[in-house]
């Protein structure tokens, strides 16, 4: 009875109505995930700065627009602010020897205060699309999606080009094999600084876009952002590998990172549509990311594990003794 | 070409693990010298190579490459003078990058890395020719990830990478120790070829006395962080493993303890 009531209360239209909004938000977080991809996958640096720099991007965009600056100028300044945040984490790590995760957390915590200061000590600042000319807004979802796609496309092209250049290749080498990179004359400290800066500039850009989309900046808007970014990166990789297989190249990876962001938000849409309490969303996200991070490991284990080897050994031993008994049986028959 | 003057290095100073790895190493290599370095475990062979490479700063002494004092330069800045091949085949190459990308990275050793495309068409053709000479079939797999190659193939690629930009000194740190005997001799032959063709100055650490005798024009033996034997020219050509063992006892007053060195 309860179930019938529950399912009849679900409105399919409500889901389809929410879908464009989910896609637009997913695109914006997908752009953020491109930044996470640079640090997490290319630099092998789990950078927690992003939770702070995402909100910094939103805060700078909103406050500068409200103070009368052109929205594009505001967005550019947001990127520069994000870049400086990434640089700060990089300096903490390379010049002061602080481990990557801790360096990121320190900057993130510092940014909480800095973001409040940027927002005139308010936790939330509104940015009305009626008063200011914004690049995108949730008011017009079609244009928000198109503009989100344009931003993502331009970023993917620029990143594809950059990581194919001499400097970009050096960054990739640094993330994969620091000893080799030093031996080839690469200043790996500088490469980390550049990579972290670019990553956080992209994250701040995404924060600036989300602030416009939702019509406000909030000091907590980036909380858990790293997990959403990782979710997008990992969902994108699993999906891309499944669809493209061996043809999955760097271009494909970047594209699928953004697609991962969109899929993540569609899943969130489904969860909300199923009337799960929105307070539990972060728990849900953490579980999704844990599952996707665990899948490659468990897959490898399913092919080769002690449990499997043990079973095979048991089967082999059982088989051998079975043939041994078989021999005995045959002999018995002969004797008869 | 290379001059090591009275270099000292102590690890874990003031702790129970304190180790005087280098105790006043002196060595001079002329241009075109190919010196093999032998010695027991912990004698300071690899430590001396790392001191030249700049893996860490030395405590005392000076290192000069081609007349330039590099003692104060960090590893990545010294890299422009040096070609290096490591004991672990995984260290010298980047597994997640393609063979040609690895070579392109090495071709820019000591140069500014800007916003030009990471690999040019002319380079690709050049790499194709060089890989063909290796005779490992790698020229047809230039866009394969290096992680898919075997240890021997990776060492061969690393050797090629070390010689793309002619180094002032080539440092080979037991670069065949992790390979099976057949692959090891192939890689050694390739090492000889690359050193001769490019007229390189080289230093090769090895645990294998026969290899140490068969390759290069000079041989040094180390013990307790010092060079205790320096043989070159005709004298080196006449060397046998037994000679070396005797000389070791004579100079150091102890028996050559490393099983690896005896069995090699």
**What is the per-residue pLDDT across A43-79, written as a single tens digit (0 to 9) for each?**
999 999 999 999 999 999 999 999 999 999 999 999 9
pLDDT digits (tens, 9 = 90+) for A174-225: 999 999 999 999 999 999 999 999 999 999 999 999 999 999 999 999 998 9
Same domain, A274 and A331: no
Chain A residues with CB inside 8 Å of B115's CB? 162, 165-167
CB B218 within 8 A of CB B33: yes
Same domain, A138 and A176: yes
**Does B91 contact A188 at a Cβ distance shorter than 8 Å?**
no
Same domain, A286 and A334: no
Tell how strand B226-232 and strand B68-69 pair up.
unpaired
How far apart are the C-alpha atoms of A6 and A8, rounded to whole Å? 6
Closest CA to A50 of A29, A30, A36, A62: A36
User: For residue A8, is it within any domain?
Assistant: no
Same domain, A234 and A332: no
* pLDDT band with cut points at 50, 70 and 90 for residue A323: low
**Does A183 contact B82 at a Cβ distance shorter than 8 Å?**
yes
* pLDDT band with cut points at 50, 70 and 90 for residue B264: very low
User: For residue A2, is it within any domain?
Assistant: no
| Section B260-264 average pLDDT | 50
Number of domains in chain B: 1
Tell how strand B34-39 and strand B202-205 pair up.
parallel
Sheet holding B82-85, edge to edge: B82-85, B169-173, B202-205, B34-39, B218-223, B226-232
pLDDT digits (tens, 9 = 90+) for B60-80: 999 999 999 999 999 999 999
Q: Bigger pLDDT: A204 or A247?
A: A204
Whether pLDDT at A3 is above 80: no
User: Worst-scoring range by mean pLDDT, A258-267, A275-284, B74-83?
Assistant: A275-284
Same domain, A26 and A146: yes
Give the model's pLDDT for residue A261.
Answer: 96
| Section B160-183 average pLDDT | 92
How far apart are the C-alpha atoms of A84 and A121, rounded to whole Å? 21
**Does A169 contact B116 at a Cβ distance shorter than 8 Å?**
no
Chain A residue with Cα closest to B147? A176
The model's pTM is: 0.89
Whether pLDDT at B32 is above 70: yes
CB B240 within 8 A of CB B208: no
CB pairs under 8 A between A and B: 82
**Does A177 contact B95 at a Cβ distance shorter than 8 Å?**
yes
Chain A residue with Cα closest to B78? A185
Mean of all residue pLDDT scores within chain B: 90
Whether pLDDT at A328 is above 70: no
Whether pLDDT at A321 is above 60: no
**Which structure tokens are listed for A195?**
């990579």
Same domain, A220 and A283: yes
**Contacts with B230 (C-beta within 8 Å, 6 or more apart), sequence order:** B27, B218, B219, B220
ipTM score over 0.95, yes or no: no
How far apart are the C-alpha atoms of B177 and B208, rounded to whole Å? 9
User: What are the distances in angstroms from CA A331 to CA A301, A319, A322, B84?
Assistant: 43, 18, 14, 68
How far apart are the C-alpha atoms of B48 and B55, rounded to whole Å? 10
Same domain, A265 and A315: no
User: For residue A7, is it within any domain?
Assistant: no
Chain B residues with CB inside 8 Å of A187's CB? 76
Helix (DSSP H) and strand (DSSP E) numbers for chain B: 10, 10
User: For residue A4, is it within any domain?
Assistant: no
How far apart are the C-alpha atoms of A273 and A288, rounded to whole Å? 17
Same domain, A201 and A333: no
Same domain, A122 and A179: yes
CB B258 within 8 A of CB B207: yes
Select from B79, B93, B101 the Cβ nearest to the Cβ of A185: B79
Residue range(s) defining the domain that contains residue A326: 309-336
Chain A residue with Cα closest to B83? A183
Mean of all residue pLDDT scores within chain A: 91
**Which structure tokens are listed for A294?**
């665990």
| B99-107 and B151-164 helices, crossing angle to 10° | 30
CB A124 within 8 A of CB A219: yes
SS3 A24: helix
CATH number at residue B50: 3.40.50.300
**Contacts with A54 (C-beta within 8 Å, 6 or more apart), sequence order:** A32, A203, A204, A206, A207, A210, A221, A222, A225
Q: Bigger pLDDT: A21 or A4?
A: A21
Same domain, A23 and A144: yes
Number of domains in chain A: 2
| Section A96-116 average pLDDT | 97
Same domain, A138 and A253: yes
Same domain, A79 and A153: yes
Give the model's pLDDT for residue A320.
Answer: 67
CB B171 within 8 A of CB B158: no
Select from A172, A182, A184 the Cβ nearest to the Cβ of B106: A184
Whether pLDDT at B260 is above 60: no
Closest CA to B162 of B119, B136, B191, B124: B191
Q: How many CB atoms lie within 10 A of CB B173?
A: 23
* pLDDT band with cut points at 50, 70 and 90 for residue B234: confident
Residue range(s) defining the domain that contains residue B255: 2-263
User: For residue A231, is it within any domain?
Assistant: yes
């Amino acid at each position: 009875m309860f179930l019938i009531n529950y399912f009849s209360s679900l409105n399919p239209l409500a889901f389809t109505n929410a879908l464009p909004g989910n896609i637009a938000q997913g695109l914006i977080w997908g752009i953020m995930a491109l930044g996470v991809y640079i640090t997490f996958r290319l630099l092998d640096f789990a950078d927690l700065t992003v939770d702070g720099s995402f909100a910094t991007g939103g805060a700078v965009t909103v406050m500068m627009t409200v103070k009368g600056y052109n929205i594009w100028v505001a967005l550019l300044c947001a990127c520069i602010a994000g870049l400086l945040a990434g640089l700060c984490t990089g300096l903490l790590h390379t010049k002061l020897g602080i481990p990557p995760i801790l360096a990121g957390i320190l900057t993130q915590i510092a940014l909480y205060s800095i973001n409040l200061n940027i927002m005139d000590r308010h936790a939330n600042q509104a940015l009305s699309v009626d008063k200011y000319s914004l690049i995108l807004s949730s008011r017009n979802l079609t244009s928000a999606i198109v503009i989100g796609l344009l931003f993502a496309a331009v970023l993917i092209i620029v990143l594809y080009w950059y990581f194919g250049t001499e400097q970009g290749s050096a960054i990739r080498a640094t993330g994969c094999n620091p000893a080799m990179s030093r031996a080839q004359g690469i200043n790996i400290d500088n490469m980390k600084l550049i990579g972290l800066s670019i990553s956080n500039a992209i994250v701040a850009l995404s924060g600036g876009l989300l602030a416009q989309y939702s019509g406000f900046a909030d000091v907590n808007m980036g909380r858990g952002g790293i997990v959403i970014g990782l979710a997008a990166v990992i969902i994108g990789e699993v999906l891309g590998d499944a669809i493209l297989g061996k043809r999955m190249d760097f271009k494909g990876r970047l594209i699928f990172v953004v697609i991962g962001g969109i899929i993540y938000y569609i899943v969130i849409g489904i969860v909300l549509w199923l009337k799960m309490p929105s307070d539990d969303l972060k728990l849900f996200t953490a579980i999704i990311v844990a599952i996707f991070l665990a899948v490659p490991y468990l897959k490898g284990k399913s092919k080769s594990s002690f449990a499997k080897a043990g079973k095979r050994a048991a089967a082999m031993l059982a088989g051998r003794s079975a043939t041994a008994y078989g021999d005995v049986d045959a002999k018995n028959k002969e004797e008869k | 070409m290379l001059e090591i003057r009275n270099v000292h290095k102590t690890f874990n100073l003031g702790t129970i693990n304190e180790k005087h790895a280098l105790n006043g190493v002196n060595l001079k290599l002329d241009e075109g010298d190919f010196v093999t370095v032998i010695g027991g475990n912990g004698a300071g062979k690899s430590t001396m190579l790392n001191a030249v490479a700049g893996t860490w700063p030395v405590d005392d002494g000076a290192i000069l490459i081609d007349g330039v004092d590099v003692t104060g330069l960090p590893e990545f800045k010294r890299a422009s003078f040096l070609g290096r091949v490591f004991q672990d085949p995984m260290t010298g190459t980047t597994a997640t990058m393609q063979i040609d990308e690895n070579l392109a990275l090495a071709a820019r050793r000591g140069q500014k890395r800007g916003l030009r495309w990471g690999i040019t068409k002319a380079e690709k053709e050049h790499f194709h020719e060089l890989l063909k000479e290796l005779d490992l079939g790698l020229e047809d797999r230039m866009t394969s990830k290096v992680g898919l190659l075997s240890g021997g193939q990776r060492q061969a690629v690393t050797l090629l990478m070390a010689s793309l930009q002619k180094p002032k000194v080539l440092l080979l740190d037991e670069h065949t120790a992790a390979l099976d005997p057949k692959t090891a001799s192939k890689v050694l032959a390739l090492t000889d070829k690359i050193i001769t063709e490019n007229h390189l100055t080289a230093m090769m650490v090895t645990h294998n006395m026969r290899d140490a005798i068969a390759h290069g024009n000079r041989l040094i033996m180390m013990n307790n962080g010092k060079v205790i034997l320096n043989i070159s020219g005709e004298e080196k050509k006449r060397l046998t493993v037994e000679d070396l063992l005797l000389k070791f006892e004579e100079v150091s007053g102890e028996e050559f303890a490393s099983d690896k060195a005896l069995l090699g």
